[in-house]
Amino acid sequence: MKDLFSELETHEALADGAILMHGFALADEAAILHAIEQVVEAAPFRHMNTPGGFRMSVAMTNCGAFGWVTDRHGYRYSPVDPQSGDPWPQMPPILQALAERAAQEAGYRDFSPDACLINRYEPSTKMSLHQDKDEQDFNNPIVSVSLGLPASFQFGGLKRTDPVRKYALHHGDVVVWGGPSRLFYHGILALKQGQHPLVGSLRLNLTFRKAV
């Protein structure tokens, strides 16, 4: 027996290469939320604009050597926060370790993220169906951590028109997206209102990536 929590966790395959680890981040919830607060003090949440000129309803920030940004010029990873001109805050070691531990459990022994995008959802915030393809090497997985209010997650296939399935993502859930699922279309339906005892009326999502 490893520990009590691993006995209680259940891992669910959502698709070939996509593994949902229910509650994987629960044991570290307080430390994770504290780490996010530290990042947000240095790099506040902001609403970015798409290349088409639309304001995203999701508020975002980043930590790590690179951060995902979007503006009139396109989607890309940047070593500096365009709002401050400073490098993004360092990735807190507790977050880096969580992502690496999750990836290892899913079979990725050498995943070392250099970017962590932090998304903040308020009630009615959504994220339209999209692919994550701004990273250099799609052999690296993406690790996502969901915190706060639950979300309805849409998961399709390699084509935008492929049928989508819906899954609930709950506080503490961690998903490793690798293999064929790495380029599958996905999105988040409008967040329903509610109250989470630790996070309040919000959902936070961390995605750990190897950008470069």
Q: Is 55 annotated as a binding residue?
A: no
Report the residue from 28, 132, 135, 173 that binds Fe ion according to the rule CB under 5 A: 132
C-alpha dihedral (171, 174, 180, 183), degrees to nearest 10: 60
Q: Is 135 in the site for Fe ion (CB under 5 A)?
A: no
Q: Is 208 annotated as a binding residue?
A: yes
Q: In what order do the strands lie in the sheet with 151-155?
A: 127-130, 186-188, 151-155, 165-169
Question: Which is nearer to ligand MD3, 3 or 129 (by Cβ)?
Answer: 129
**Single-letter amino acid code for the residue at 208:** F
Question: Which is nearer to Fe ion, 43 or 127 (by Cβ)?
Answer: 127
Work out how close the CB of 7 gets to ligand MD3 at its nearest, in angstroms, rounded to a whole number: 26
Q: Residue 154 touches which of Fe ion, ligand MD3, none (CB < 5 to 8 A by kind)?
A: none
Cα–Cα distance measured from residue 166 to residue 201, given in angstroms and rounded to the nearest whole number:
22
Work out how close the CB of 3 gets to ligand MD3 at its nearest, in angstroms, rounded to a whole number: 26
Q: Is 49 annotated as a binding residue?
A: no
CB-hemisphere CA count at 13 Å for 31? 11
Report the residue from 188, 191, 202, 211 that binds ligand MD3 according to the rule CB under 6 A: 188
Burial of residue 175, with CB atoms counted within 10 A of its CB: 0-12 exposed, 13-18 middle, 19 or more buried = buried
Q: Is 121 annotated as a binding residue?
A: yes
Beta strands in 22-133 (DSSP E): 59-63, 67-71, 74-78, 115-121, 127-130
x/- letters, 136..165, toward ligand MD3 (CB under 6 A): ------x-x------x--------------
Query: Residues marked as binding for Fe cation?
Result: 130, 132, 186
